Chains A and B, each alone.
Chain A
Amino acid sequence: MIELRGLQVENFSHPQDRASWTVVTKAPWLKKLMDWMMTKEAMYEMRTDYLGNAFEVRRADMPDLFDMVEDVCRVLDYQTMPRLFSRRSSLVGALVNSGENPILVFPDFILNNFDDDMLRFQIGRTITMLKANNAQIRTSVDWILKIINKIPGVGAVAVPVLADWVRKSRYTEDRGALLACQDEDAAMKALFRYAGLPRKYIDPKVYPEYISAYQQAGKIEGFSQSVMTAYRTEAWKNDRIVELFKWYSSGEYFDLIEDFE
């Protein structure tokens, strides 16, 4: 595994993520509000929940998981080792809570059902969230969405702007996750699994055909897309597959890795 010493999120961030963030920062009040919330440690809500309701795992409990998280931190050049928790959940993604002491929470479903390479992809995604400060920003966004959604007019304008950034930031996180596992097949396997494909049907040979079919027929565009995605904070799962596939197929990913070799 190539250690990406000196890696910056800007080295691999998705252009749509950057463009969307620029729109967010164009509303100075919104940016100010988010900055203020982050100083107020708005993250505490979920941390309280994890500490009271999840199970903190120690190195002695799960040495393999600790080694994996440490290794991902090393590869992505992220300095702080998070506290690790597990909890009962059928979610297929690890949760992350930022602040001074970051926390990763692993649903038992992924601990029991994911292969090591898929787990590494998931860990890579959460460490990218921490490295990019997305975890902290997103928690603030969640709070803001809760509040401004209740203000007629303001919510209608601001929510789509924030929701768009949340969706696009996923593309960057997926790229970071691929850099963490450095295995395109594992990354695609994790994303296909996330999209719902059962493990036994996941086959790297079908990726290009599936993606091309989706791009031609499945993608929602135009007015329908605007209406259906405006208030949605979760990126379309198939879009994530396509965006990551495009990144490594274009050679950009391999060029980046080469720069660190």
Chain B
Amino acid sequence: MPTYNRKNIRIDPSVFQYPADKAASDAIHKSEAFQKALTFISEQSVEKALTGLYRSSYAEITSVNSPKIYAMIREAMEMYGMDCEISVYIQRKYEMSALLSGIKHPILLISSEFLREITEDMLWGLLASEVAGIKNGFGEIKFVESLSKFSYGLLPAIVTEPLKLLFNNWHKYAEYSFDRANLIATGDFNTTMQLILLGEAPTAILRQTDFTDPNCTFMSQSREFMNTEDTVMRVIRDVKSVTNSGLYYASRYIELFKFYQGEYYELLEETT
């Protein structure tokens, strides 16, 4: 088993990108509509306008006001081979969320609650996974998606619904890639799981749970969810999985656990 040292890791995040995410992301990038949207955004300086909006609305992280966070971003960029500038903003919000968007100038918007409740290791994992997402082209997709939402009320459902499904499909699988990037950055499965479930349970409980133990309580709950033989529950779960953009924590945990037990150590060995 290789020794983990994040300073030695250099890896292109597309190497461990979740296969279905890669397929969904490629499909979006290759579509004519998406390319037209990118051209429109570039020609009309839409991105510049959005950057201005963020700059006026939220507090920006700088090397002066938050040197630690600033340094983490730089380190994550080095780890995942990223060279364009990333602006990080803080939004006052109770819900924990991190929003990634942007094409030439990616923007990361983090809710204030994250910073209040997060440990340094978890913050590092969060920032690194977002940087990996930017490197994989997620910022572009998110940007076009957020613009396309303006059309949802104007265009007929026959046009907007397939568009929503396309983005939702990508969103789901992208979460798996984010989780993998997070694990590679933190090097600790429990830290990554604590971040994923942050706030869902009191922190003390999350800290005392060993998520690497296949018999831990959250694994049995997740298995019950994934392997239920109840037809009604299966149907609801599967329909919601298609129509919702978010993933169930249970499925994120199981997918990440599989990665942890398989490819993860091989990747670590190859990249350190």
Docked-complex contact B202 and A86, CB < 8 angstroms: yes
Instruction: Name the residue of chain B whose CB is nearest to the CB of A111.
Output: B202
* Contact B232 A54, beta carbon cutoff 8 Å: no
A41 part of interface (Cβ distance < 8 Å): yes
A51 partner residues in chain B, CB cutoff 8 A: 221, 224-225, 250
Set A52, A55, A111: member contacting B237, Cβ < 8 A: A52
- B205 x A52 contact (CB < 8 A): no
Q: Give the residue name and chain of the A residue nearest to B202 (CB).
A: A111
Task: Determine if A61 and B208 form an interchain contact, defined as CB atoms under 8 angstroms apart.
Answer: yes
A184 to B194, CA, bound (A): 39
For residue B230, CB closer than 8 A to chain A, the reply is yes
A44 adjacent to B236 (CB under 8 Å): yes
Interface range on chain A (Cβ under 8 Å from partner): 20 to 34
Are A108 and B230 in contact (CB-based, < 8 A)? no
In the complex, per-residue mask of A74-108: 1 if CB is within 8 Å of any chain B CB, else 0: 00000000000011101000000000000000001
Q: Residue B201 contacts which of A41, A45, A48, A108 (CB distance < 8 angstroms)?
A: A108
Interface residues of B in 64-105 (CB under 8 A from A): 94-96
B211-240 vs A, CB cutoff 8 Å, 1 = contact: the mask equals 000000110011011000010110011001
Give the size category of B's interface with A: 20 to 34
A112 interfacial by beta-carbon distance below 8 Å: yes
In angstroms, Cα B68 to Cα A191, docked, is 43
Give the CA-CA distance A40 to B198 in the complex, in Å.
34
Q: Is A62 an interface residue (CB 8 A)?
A: yes
- The reply to whether B197 and A55 contact each other, CB–CB distance below 8 Å, is yes
Q: Which residues of B contact A32 (CB under 8 A)?
A: none
Residues of A within 8 A of B197 (CB): 55
Interface contact B205-A48, CB-CB below 8 Å: no
A55, B200: Cβ atoms closer than 8 Å: yes
Q: When the two chains form their complex, are residues B249 and A88 in contact, meaning their CB atoms are under 8 A apart?
A: no
A52 → chain B closest CB, angstroms: 3
Q: How far is the CA of A56 from the CA of B205 in the complex (A)?
A: 10
**Interchain CB contact under 8 A, B248 and A108:** no
**Interface assignment of A47: CB less than 8 Å from any CB of chain B:** yes
Could you tell me the distance in whole angstroms from the C-beta of B147 to the nearest C-beta in chain A?
Answer: 28
Q: Residue B137 at the A interface, CB < 8 A? A: no
For residue A164, give the distance in angstroms from its CB to the closest CB of chain B.
29
By secondary structure, the B interface counts as helix
Cβ proximity bits A49-68 to B, threshold 8 Å, 1 near / 0 not: 10111111110011000000
Instruction: Find out whether the CB atom of B249 lies under 8 angstroms from the CB atom of A52.
Output: yes
Do A58 and B237 have beta carbons less than 8 Å apart? no
Q: A47-B233, A57-B205, A61-B208 are in contact. Are A52 and B251 (CB under 8 A)?
A: yes
The A interface is mostly helix, strand or loop, or mixed, namely mixed
Residues of chain A within 8 A (CB-CB) of B205 are 55, 57, 61-62, 86
Report chain B residues within 8 Å CB of A47.
233
Tell me whether A44 and B232 are in contact (CB under 8 A). yes
A86 touches which of B94, B201, B217, B240 (Cβ 8 Å) = B201
CA distance A86 to B218 in the complex (A): 12
Residues from chain B with Cβ under 8 Å of A111 in the complex: 202
Whether B240 contacts A48 by the Cβ 8 Å rule is yes
CB distance from A161 to the nearest CB of B (A): 28
Interface contact B249-A108, CB-CB below 8 Å: no
Contacts of A86 in B (CB 8 A): 200-202, 205
B232, A52: Cβ atoms closer than 8 Å:
no
B114 to chain A: closest CB distance in Å? 11
Are B94 and A90 in touch, CB under 8 angstroms?
yes
Chain A residues with CB under 8 A of B208 = 61
Contact status of A48 and B236, CB under 8 A, knowing A108-B202, A112-B202: yes
Residue in A44, A62, A90, A108 whose beta carbon sits within 8 Å of that of B233 in the complex: A44
Contact A48 B233 (CB under 8 A): yes
> What's the Cα separation between A58 and B248 when bound, in Å?
20
Please, which residue of chain A has its CB at the minimum distance from the CB of B199? A88
| B218→A56 contact, CB < 8 A | yes
7 residue pairs from A and B, CB less than 8 Å apart: A40-B232, A41-B232, A45-B236, A51-B225, A61-B209, A62-B205, A86-B200
The 7 closest A-B pairs by CB, nearest first: A52-B248, A88-B199, A55-B201, A51-B225, A61-B205, A52-B250, A55-B200
